[in-house]
Structure 1
Amino acid sequence: MENNGIETTRRGFLKGAALAVAGAGVAGLAGCAPQGSDAGAGASAGGAAPADAANIAWDEEFDVVIIGAGAAGMTAAITVAREGNGKTCLLAEKEPQPNGNSPFCAGDFSWTTVPDDYYTYLKELAGEHTTTPDEVLRVFANGLGQVKDWVVELGAREEEMQILPNGTAEDPYLNIDVVWPELECSYAHAMCTIGGIVRDDPEYDLKGEPHIFTFLTNRVNEHTDVVDYRTNFAMEELIQDAAGRIVGAVIDGKNIKARDGVIMCCGGFENDPALKENTFGVSTIVPAAGQGNTGDGHRACMKVGADFWHMSGLAGMWLQPRNLDNTAFTSVVVGGPRVKKYGITVGSNGHRFYMDYDALTSWPDPKPGYLADLRTDVGMRYGHTNFGGAWPWQAMPADGGWFIFDADGLAAGAIPAETSADPVADKLALTADTLADLAAQINVPAEELERTVAEWNKFCAEGEDAAFHRPPETLTPVAKAPFYAQFCAPTLLNTDGGPVRSHLGEILDPYGKPIPGLFSAGEFGSLWGHFYQGSGNIAECLIYGRIAAESAMGCEVAYQ
């Protein structure tokens, strides 16, 4: 079934008891040549197999069942269509249209011409965090060396793509989009964007694919003969046979058999309060993108014995300005203006408590010759911030904070003019002629707020934030009445935690063995366990979406 009417624009950005089938789910022999992976061997060591239900009635059968139609799921479906020699695929999306992060992201993906050097960079990004095996990083680096050409092979026009090259050891600053330029071989990073070039020539035949998600959707819809793409079709649980193999899934009340395997492409758990509270200690973190990632796949994989990793990994934990009802952001979250430079952020005690020039990314843009000491550099890099010389994810209070600015800050863009001509009337901010009156409105101690602002204004006059070392160009005084307060909520873009994944895209149990018939790709159990390089998640969707599909079908697996 062809998906109906999905349009995207680029942002400027368990039901029931376990079922079992004894001896079922043997991989089909048709299609590509076997590669010798042990993906289908043996029962999972993660616990006793569920009760036998060999007489289950299957409602439908496919060779491959893919859960989630984001960039990873679509890539997997495209791979089945292109490499499966007629194998069939169900691409199941629970929402009316995909509502994870793929449609809302900037759409950039990483690539490189020097995969060996990029592998070194990946090792540097991982640092002392050793849970991601070298072979996973190596395969990912190999994929980065081929992913741009693979996308072009699928039909992307290079002349319509924005293609930023990687640097070299001799000239490392060709690509200023490197997030961690201080690390060895960071120059290996390069970046592509589908539809990044806008042409004004009316004679030019634009392909009309302004975003990677649109591009992948169109490729999926070219293969309706073998890909059955269904929306409003939510997975409820996985079906595991008595030997521990995943043989299908319950989807929208139907028992769907997967002859080769099930590929989980469910994204993160940004919209699941319990998982957020148990993982980050805060259930109130607001997701900046889609609303569909609610941890369904995580719970289904827990039930069949999957091990989990990188659960604390996320792009997030900054305080983003919201309206007073905490129902909407008041400025573009990703890639928008960095409004926090026009004031300060305080907690419920009226104190600054962190380096509050914060956003998803807000460190000073690296310039040629820039090479900071990470122990003393400042800023936010996908939620990482300097804390004692290290760069953990920033912890944030569950009740958020308040962005405090003055009349000059408002005029300069603390709340962008295009958002509101009267932010007080529009209930985007509170205002008062004195800090004491403002403090009363936001329920913080007046003397503490006044003391904090006085200290801040002294830092601005002296040109140095002696408390949290904000960049000098962000030191904007809060001195001219009227004064304003805007509520800020702890915010995240995406989570990376989920089931442990092998270099072949297999989901592993706590003993490091593959759960037969179960695979994953994308942010659902991402390889990113520590420092993150921007545009790496979409690249992971493209690379591991292909790998997972090839592994499920028994094909020769790319990028090994």
Structure 2
Amino acid sequence: MREQELTRRNFIGLAGAAAAGAAALGLAGCAPQTDSAHAAGGGAAAAVPASWDEEYDVVVCGAGIAGLAAGICAAREGNGAKVLIVEKDVTPNGNSPFCAGSMLYCDDADAFGVYLKAMLGDHTPDDVQKAFCQALTENLDWLYELGAKEEWLDIGAPATEPDPAKGAEWPELENWWTYGRIKFKTKDTDGPTHVHTFFEQTAESTENLTIEFSTPMESLVQDPETKTILGIVADGKNIKANKGVIMCTGGFESDPDMLYNFTGVTGCVPYAGKANTGDGHRACAAIGAGFWHMYGGAQYWTALRNLDNTEFVSTVWNFTKKNLGITVGVSGRRFYMDYDACSCPSSPYAEPGSDIHLNMGYRHGITNFGGTWNHLPLPETTWFIFDADAMANGEIFTDITTDPVADGWALEAASIEELAGKIEVPAEELTATVAQWNEFCDRGADMAFYRPADTLTPIKTGPFYAMRCVPAMLNTDGGPTRDAQGQILDPFGKPIPHLYSAGEFGSVWGHLYQGTGNVGECAAFGRIAARSALANA
């Protein structure tokens, strides 16, 4: 049941982190400022209270897909166990309501495990990968068990052999055809149109499950001798968790300090919700958790913005028309393979069985860099340069403006030299860069960064234009290390008793990533963590 009506949006600031938690995450001296009401207990485990304000069997922190899945599973399978979900915002939030909504699943855990291992390598332990694959085989049936109807779902089933029509994010890897995806239909349906909505509605009707909104988790309560997690402090209340606490507080996309410390990027603008600010990371650091995959996530692109840097040109999947020009840094030079439109979950520039070291493209922000696939630490400000022919093409500003210069979307100049002055880059560098680019276009090959040949558009016809770009992202994946049972581990691999995690909060995705994977993980590890907590005496 709900304890607060969903009447407004109010992204609440971080629960404060004092020296111990901040230092454990490399944030000492740069932790965000917080109000005093949320500062208590943030720097270390909260003291065990003389009495508790509330008591439950399982407490879940965060009401995104992972938190809702964990709470639903714990309440439905707990034989009367009382379950609480606390959420800092006034609605279920995080990235979940904003994501595309496709959920990963598989039929054959062993076959899909080969593909997963090729993506994750040794960055995620084999037993964790195996547990994840096995749990993925339950995802579709679990939706039906919770009341989803077949006619509500658009299902892309796994294949039993290579299927060119299927596509995959990493078709170069073995068994790429073995994953499936589930998505709620958005048209011609009488059911929920997003997986997060489905879980939210299911949670509302689940017995023994309470959701408290506007209740930010501030710190964990830990037995000083046994190190067992006894409960949490949330919005000033001491809440006891007899069987365990499940952390589902998402990533740290909206904490600029953490983004800089772990990815080296400043000026990032996340696409999704603004509530993921690393609260849970600090709370877990304070009680001695280990961390992994802090550099991972769906990041970064150089996304087109207005000149005031207040608005994106368009939404996540078609946010760039980078085939119509080039991107330069403040040096006036190209510096990366700048056709960074997201080519996922199916890559148009990779044939099954081809050499992954030679292929190009951007796959959830991961790109070929010297033959290996990595996230790039993109600059805070870059400029997209294009000409009058590209402007006349009309693709960039579709449905946004009929006069992009007057409306503050682009700068215009009669020459490249004049344009360089307006964006404050060296004129001789930008002129040379454009000249070299046009040579590449004439020969049909980008010999600097090997951009795909069908994206090479010359910049020759004046007037010329520049648009601001910033590094943008969907989500981070790093957080506390978890094991195959969903337990959070200390830096030496030892489980912290009664503490669990699910979703993007310490995700298993630490290297390459398959689209649909985060939502699939939310459901899979939500159940794993819930069942592990319920097993406690």
Give the TM-score of the pair, scaled to structure 2: 0.90
User: What is the one-letter code of the residue matched to 1:58?
Assistant: W
| More deviation, 469-478/534-543 | 469-478
Q: Go from structure 1 to structure 2 and tell me whether the alpha carbon gap of 1:464 and 1:363 turns closer, same or farther (over 3 Å shift).
A: farther
CA contact (8 A) 1:407 1:482 kept: yes
SS at match of 1:392: strand
What is the alpha-carbon distance in structure 2 between the residues aligned to residue 81 and residue 507 of structure 1? 21
Kept in 2, the 8 Å contact 1:70–1:102? The answer is yes
1:421 is the counterpart of 2:402: yes
* 2:478 alignment partner, one of 497, 505, 508: 497
Q: Secondary structure at the match of 2:118?
A: helix
In the superposition, relative to structure 1, how do residues 552 and 389 fare at CA in structure 2: closer, same or farther (>3 Å)? same
Report deviation, 1:363: 9.5
Specify the alignment match of 2:194 in structure 1: 211
Per the TM alignment, residue 175 of structure 1 is displaced from its structure 2 partner at its CA by 1.7
1:138 and 2:130 matched: yes
Partner of 1:28: none
Within a 5 Å distance, the mapping from 1:20-35 to structure 2 comes to: none
What residue number does 2:157 align with? 165
Deviation at 1:286, TM superposition (A): 1.6
Structure 1 position 57, deviation (Å): 2.4
Deviations 1:273-332 (A, max 9, x none): 111111011232221111111001000000001000001112112211111111221121
Contact 1:361 1:383 in 2 (8 A): no
Offset at 1:167? 2.2
Give the structure 2 partner of residue 348 of structure 1.
330
1:111-122 equivalences in 2 (<5 Å):
111-122=105-116
- Distance in 1, matches of 2:236 and 2:407, equals 44
| Counterpart position of 1:150 | 142
Aligned residue for 1:69?
A: 63
Letter of the 1:120 counterpart: V
For residues 386-415 of structure 1, what are the alpha-carbon distances to aligned partners after superposition, in whole Å with 9 as ceiling and x for unaligned? 111111112212x32000111221222452
Instruction: Report the CA distance shift for 1:52/1:283 in structure 2 as closer, same or farther (over 3 A).
Output: closer
Shift of 1:172: 3.2
**1:321–1:487 contact (8 Å) kept in structure 2:** yes
Q: Which amino acid aligns with 2:278?
A: G
Equivalent pair of 2:345/2:515 in contact (CA under 8 Å): no
Structure 2 counterpart of 1:254, from 232, 237, 261: 237
SS in 2 for 1:373: coil
> What amino acid sits opposite 2:257 in the alignment?
A
Q: 1:487-543, CA deviations, whole angstroms, 9 ceiling, x for partnerless residues?
A: 100111111100000111110111211111111000000001110011000000000
The match for 2:451 is: 470
- Say whether 1:316 aligns with 2:299: yes
1:180 equivalent in alignment to 2:161: no
1:295 alignment partner in structure 2: 278
Report the 3-state secondary structure (helix = DSSP H, G, I; strand = E; otherwise coil) of the residue aligned with 2:466: strand
Q: Which residue of 2 aligns with 1:392?
A: 374
Map 1:519-530 onto structure 2 (within 5 A): 519-530=500-511
Give 1:37's aligned residue.
Answer: none
Deviation, structure 1 residue 115? 1.5
CA distance in structure 2 between the partners assigned to 1:86 and 1:51 by the alignment: 29
2:258 aligns to what? 275
Q: In the alignment, is the contact (CA less than 8 A) between 1:173 and 1:367 conserved in 2?
A: no
How far apart are the structure 2 equivalents of 1:182 and 1:116?
19
Return the alpha-carbon distance in structure 2 between the equivalents of residues 251 and 448 of structure 1. 54
* Greater displacement, 450-459 / 263-272: 450-459
Give the C-alpha shift of residue 338 in structure 1.
Answer: 4.0
Q: Residue type of the partner of 1:318?
A: W
Matches within 5 A, 1:190-201: 190-195=180-185, 198-199=187-188
Given candidates 433, 438, 463, the residue that maps to 2:414 is 433
Paired residue type of 1:552 = A
After superposition, give the CA deviation of every residue in 1:199-249 in whole Å (9 maximum; x if it has no partner): 2xxxxxx433000011000000112x4111121111111111122111111
Describe the shift of the 1:456–1:263 C-alpha distance in structure 2 as closer, same or farther (beyond 3 A): same
Report the CA distance shift for 1:6/1:514 in structure 2 as closer, same or farther (over 3 A): farther
**Amino acid across the alignment from 2:164:** Y
The CA deviation string for residues 57-82 of structure 1, in whole angstroms up to 9 with x for no partner, is 21111111111000000001111221
Where 1:103 maps in the other structure, the secondary structure is helix
1:444 aligns with 2:421: no
* CA 1:439–1:414: 2 relative to 1, 3 Å: farther
**1:531 equivalent in alignment to 2:531:** no
Closer/same/farther in 2, CA of residues 173 and 91 from structure 1, 3 Å limit: same
Which residue matches 1:551?
532
Report if the CA contact (8 A) 1:315-1:360 is conserved.
Answer: no
Task: Structure 2 unaligned segments of length 5 or more: list them.
Answer: 10-14, 20-43
CA separation in 2, counterparts of 1:480 and 1:52? Answer: 65
> Structure 1's 439 and 59: CA in aligned 2 closer, same or farther, altered over 3 A?
same
In 1, Cα distance between equivalents of 2:343 and 2:324: 16
Are residues 16 and 239 of structure 1, via their aligned partners in 2, closer, same or farther at CA, if it must alter by over 3 Å? farther
**Counterpart check, 1:455 vs 2:436:** yes
Offset, 1:99: 3.3
Distance in 1 between residues matched to 2:276 and 2:394, nearest whole Å: 32
Shift of 1:416: 2.5
**Cα offset for 1:165?**
1.8
Are the counterparts in 1 of residues 46 and 222 from structure 2 also a CA contact under 8 Å?
no
Matching residue within 383, 387, 395 for 1:402: 383
The residue aligned with 1:101 is 95
Q: For residues 314-357 of structure 1, give each alpha carbon's deviation from its aligned partner in whole angstroms, at most 9, with x where no partner exists.
A: 21122111111112211212x22541111100000111111000
What SS is found at the alignment partner of 1:345?
Answer: strand
Structure 1 residue 477: Cα displacement: 1.2
* Identity of matched residues, %: 49
What is the RMSD computed on CA atoms of the aligned residues? 2.3
* 8 Å contact from structure 1 (residues 15, 237) kept in 2: no
Query: Does the Cα contact within 8 Å between 1:362 and 1:379 map onto a contact in 2?
Result: no
**1-side partners of 2:302 and 2:239: how far apart?**
43
The Cα shift of 1:195 comes to 2.1
Distance 1:208 1:67 in 2: 27
Structure 1 residue runs of 5 or longer lacking an equivalent are 9-13, 19-49, 200-205
Q: TM-score, normalised by structure 1?
A: 0.86
Moved more, 105-114 or 523-532: 105-114
Report whether the alignment pairs 1:221 with 2:212. no
SS in structure 2 of the partner of residue 386 of structure 1: strand
Mapped to 2, the partners of 1:441 and 1:234 lie a distance apart of 45
Q: Distance in 1 between matches of 2:16 and 2:471?
A: 32
From the superposition, tell whether residues 277 and 434 of structure 1 become closer, same or farther in structure 2 (CA, over 3 Å): same
Deviates more, 1:371-380 or 1:491-500: 371-380
Letter of the structure 2 residue corresponding to residue 91 of structure 1: I
Q: Which residue of 2 aligns with 1:78?
A: 72
Q: Per the alignment, do residues 64 and 378 of structure 1 end up closer, same or farther by CA in structure 2, a change over 3 Å counting?
A: same
